Amino acid sequence: MATNLLHVPKPQGLLRPLVVPERLLLGPGPSNVPPRILAAGGQQLLGHMHPEVLQVMDEIKAGIQYAFQTQNRLTLAISGTGHCAMEAALLNLLEHGDTALVAVNGIWGQRAADIARRLGAIVRELWKPPGEYFTPQDIEEGLVRHKPLVLFITHGESSTGVLQPLEGLGELCHRHGCLLLVDAVASLGGAPIFMDQQEIDVLYSGSQKVLNAPPGSAPISFSERAREKILRRKTQPLSFYLDMGWLANYWGCDGEPRRYHHTAPINSFFSLREGLAMLVELGLESSWERHRANCAQLCQGLRDLGLELFVKEEKARLPTITTVRVPKGYDWKEITAFLMENHAIEIAGGLGPSVGKVLRIGLMGCNSTSSNVDRVLHGLRDALRRCHRSRL
Amino acid sequence: MATNLLHVPKPQGLLRPLVVPERLLLGPGPSNVPPRILAAGGQQLLGHMHPEVLQVMDEIKAGIQYAFQTQNRLTLAISGTGHCAMEAALLNLLEHGDTALVAVNGIWGQRAADIARRLGAIVRELWKPPGEYFTPQDIEEGLVRHKPLVLFITHGESSTGVLQPLEGLGELCHRHGCLLLVDAVASLGGAPIFMDQQEIDVLYSGSQKVLNAPPGSAPISFSERAREKILRRKTQPLSFYLDMGWLANYWGCDGEPRRYHHTAPINSFFSLREGLAMLVELGLESSWERHRANCAQLCQGLRDLGLELFVKEEKARLPTITTVRVPKGYDWKEITAFLMENHAIEIAGGLGPSVGKVLRIGLMGCNSTSSNVDRVLHGLRDALRRCHRSRL
**CB atoms near residue A183 (< 10 Å):** 29
Tell me what the mean pLDDT of segment B90-101 comes to. 98
Residues of B whose CB is below 8 A from A55: 13
For residues A298 and A361, the answer to whether their CB atoms sit within 8 Å is yes
From A143's Cα to the closest Cα of chain B, the distance in A is 26
> Best mutation site among A48, A107, A260, A262 for testing chain B: the one with the most B CBs within 10 Å?
A262
Cβ of B216 within 8 Å of Cβ of A268? The answer is: yes
Cβ of B44 within 8 Å of Cβ of A66? The answer is: no
Distance CA A185, CA A321 (A): 12
Query: Is the pLDDT reported for residue B130 higher than 80?
Result: yes
Domain ranges of chain A: 24-30+284-386, 35-280
For residues A251 and A220, the answer to whether their CB atoms sit within 8 Å is no
pLDDT at A263: 94
From B372's Cα to the closest Cα of chain A, the distance in A is 17
Q: Judged by CB atoms within 8 Å, which residues 244-263 of B form the interface with A?
A: 260, 262-263
Cβ of B65 within 8 Å of Cβ of A11? The answer is: yes
Distance CA B98, CA B121 (A): 5
The CB-side HSE value for A184 (13 A sphere, CA atoms) comes to: 29
pLDDT at A278: 98
CATH number at A35-280: 3.40.640.10
Distance CA B349, CA B355 (A): 7
Q: Phi, psi (5° rounding) for residue A328? A: -55, 135
The CB-side HSE value for B266 (13 A sphere, CA atoms) comes to: 28
Instruction: State which residue of chain A sits closest to B95, comparing Cα positions.
Output: A118
SS3 content of chain A, % helix, strand, coil (to 5): 40, 15, 45
- Listed in order, strand segments (DSSP E) in B59-154 are 74-78, 99-104, 122-127, 150-154
Cβ of A18 within 8 Å of Cβ of B270? The answer is: yes
- The one-character DSSP state at A188 is B
For residues A356 and A336, the answer to whether their CB atoms sit within 8 Å is no
pLDDT at A391: 56
pLDDT at B1: 45
Cβ of A44 within 8 Å of Cβ of B58? The answer is: no
User: How many contacts (CB atoms, under 8 Å) link A and B?
Assistant: 294
List C-alpha distances in Å: B63 to A336, A339, B211, B280: 32, 33, 11, 7
Q: At what angle do helices B370-386 and B332-343 cross, to 10 degrees?
A: 120
Tell me what the mean pLDDT of segment A191-217 comes to. 97
**CB atoms near residue B236 (< 10 Å):** 13
pTM: 0.96
Distance CA B149, CA B173 (A): 9
Distance CA B363, CA B352 (A): 21
- b/e map A96-120, b = 16+ CB within 10 Å: eebbbbbbbbbbbbbbbbebbebbb
Distance CA B57, CA A32 (A): 20
Query: Is the pLDDT reported for residue B336 higher than 70?
Result: yes
Cβ of B15 within 8 Å of Cβ of A214? The answer is: no
Cβ of A3 within 8 Å of Cβ of B82? The answer is: no
Query: Do you know the residue count of chain A?
Result: 392
Number of continuous H segments (helices) and E segments (strands) in chain A: 12, 14
Please indicate if any CB of chain B lies within 8 Å of the CB of A106: no
List C-alpha distances in Å: A164 to A102, A146, A218, A355, B227: 14, 21, 21, 20, 41
pLDDT in tens, A295-323: 999 999 999 999 999 999 999 999 999 99
Query: Is the pLDDT reported for residue B4 higher than 70?
Result: no
pLDDT in tens, B215-262: 999 999 999 999 999 999 999 999 999 999 999 999 999 999 999 999
Query: Is the pLDDT reported for residue A1 higher than 50?
Result: no
pLDDT at A99: 98
- Residue A360 annotated as binding site: yes
Secondary structure of residue B90 in the 3-state scheme: helix
pLDDT in tens, A156-181: 999 999 999 999 999 999 999 999 99
Q: What is the mean pLDDT of chain B?
A: 96
Residues of B whose CB is below 8 A from A13: 55, 58-59, 62
Distance CA A161, CA A110 (A): 16
Distance CA A159, CA B56 (A): 26
Is the domain defined by B24-30+284-386 classed in CATH 3.90.1150.10?
A: yes
Query: Is the pLDDT reported for residue B3 higher than 60?
Result: no
Instruction: State which residue of chain B sits closest to A69, comparing Cα positions.
Output: B8
pLDDT in tens, B136-175: 999 999 999 999 999 999 999 999 999 999 999 999 999 9
Counting Cβ atoms within 10 Å, is residue B214 exposed (0-12), middle (13-18) or buried (19+)?
A: buried
**CB atoms near residue A367 (< 10 Å):** 25
Q: What is the mean pLDDT of chain A?
A: 96
For residues A33 and A212, the answer to whether their CB atoms sit within 8 Å is yes
**CB atoms near residue A235 (< 10 Å):** 11
Tell me what the mean pLDDT of segment B8-24 comes to. 95
Q: Judged by CB atoms within 8 Å, which residues 282-341 of A form the interface with B?
A: 283-285, 288-289
Counting Cβ atoms within 10 Å, is residue B109 exposed (0-12), middle (13-18) or buried (19+)?
A: buried
SS3 content of chain B, % helix, strand, coil (to 5): 40, 15, 45
Q: In what order do the strands lie in the sheet with A321-325?
A: A321-325, A358-362, A348-349
pLDDT at B72: 98
pLDDT at B389: 78
Distance CA B315, CA B311 (A): 9
Residues 6+ apart with CB under 8 A from A97: A120, A121, A122
